[in-house]
Amino acid sequence: MAGSLVTEALEQAWRPVLLFVLGSCIGSFLNVCITRLPRGESILFPASRCRACKTQLPGWANVPLLSYILLRARCVLCGVRISPRYFLVELCTAAMAPACYYRFGPGGLFLARLSFACALLTAAVIDFETGIIPDVISVPGTGAGLALSCIAPALAIPDMPSPPSAVLGACLGGGVLLATARGYRAITGRDGLGRGDVKLLAMIGAFAGWDGVPGILFWSALTGTCWGLGLMLLRKDVSLTTPLPFAPFLCLGALLRMS
């Protein structure tokens, strides 16, 4: 009896650690996607290389989180400074894995929510860095959300939208932003939202269902407005007409609504 209690206690103690390590490894792969997808490069080949000296990195220099700390944020080969984005993405996914597990429990819903959160994080960082959202994330992601809504009952995955709700969510999400973008351009003569934002919200709507879209738009608009106003107060080169990436706030709104 005592032995089983000790074993159970050890499992309870190590589970979040293992999930944290797993999440950091996923984050390392997301960094590859964030770096290569906007350039149209393969996310599988070649092996990781330094962007400055173009030399393949040794395996030990790719250990998530630890290598960044031990190498003091510099390439082991040429010494060029490594962007803190790599560490932050790995840290975020390392935290998301145990958070999703303890929020949604083991099983299909945990995997679905963690995968969705990883796709959102990837899209948000790419848009923040480059101003684009690759279709390779949004379009297959929309299809995945619609497919999951169909197979969720068979896989006993709870809290997923029904197929009609997922379809309406994708149409409503993409349709609202598309109408907003066209209306803004008709009034101002400038582009306010990109097609990437439209496709991203269609993907989010497929996972959230039609009834989740209004709340996601509310939180996205609120956080985006606060960010823009804060930048205007802190920086003189930012004004009401300065283009700002919207995907990070759409993704944040989705995470807040669906957490």
* Interatomic CA distance for residues 81 and 131, integer angstroms: 23
Encode pLDDT of 16-62 as tens digits. 899 999 999 999 999 999 999 999 889 988 888 878 888 888 887 88
Contacts of 31 (CB under 8 A, 6+ apart): 85, 86, 89, 90
Query: What is the separation of C-alpha 37 from the centre of its chain, rounded to a whole number of angstroms?
Result: 14
Q: Which of 138, 130, 158 is nearest to 251 (CA)?
A: 138
Q: Within 10 A of 191 (CB to CB), how many other CB atoms are there?
A: 12
Give this prediction's pTM. 0.91
Does 46 sit behind a cis peptide bond, omega within 30 degrees of 0 on the bond before it?
Answer: yes
CA distances from 248 to 1, 89, 167 (A): 50, 13, 23
Dihedral angle of Cα 145, 148, 153, 158, to the nearest 10 degrees: -60
Q: What is the per-residue pLDDT for 203?
A: 97
CB of 237 closer than 8 Å to CB of 215: no
Q: Each residue's pLDDT tens digit in the chain (259 positions)?
A: 555 656 666 567 788 899 999 999 999 999 999 999 999 889 988 888 878 888 888 887 888 999 999 888 898 888 889 999 999 999 999 999 999 999 998 889 999 999 999 999 999 999 999 999 999 999 999 999 999 999 999 888 888 999 999 999 999 998 888 888 788 777 777 776 778 899 999 999 999 999 999 999 999 989 998 998 888 888 887 777 777 889 999 999 999 887 7
* Interatomic CA distance for residues 196 and 187, integer angstroms: 21
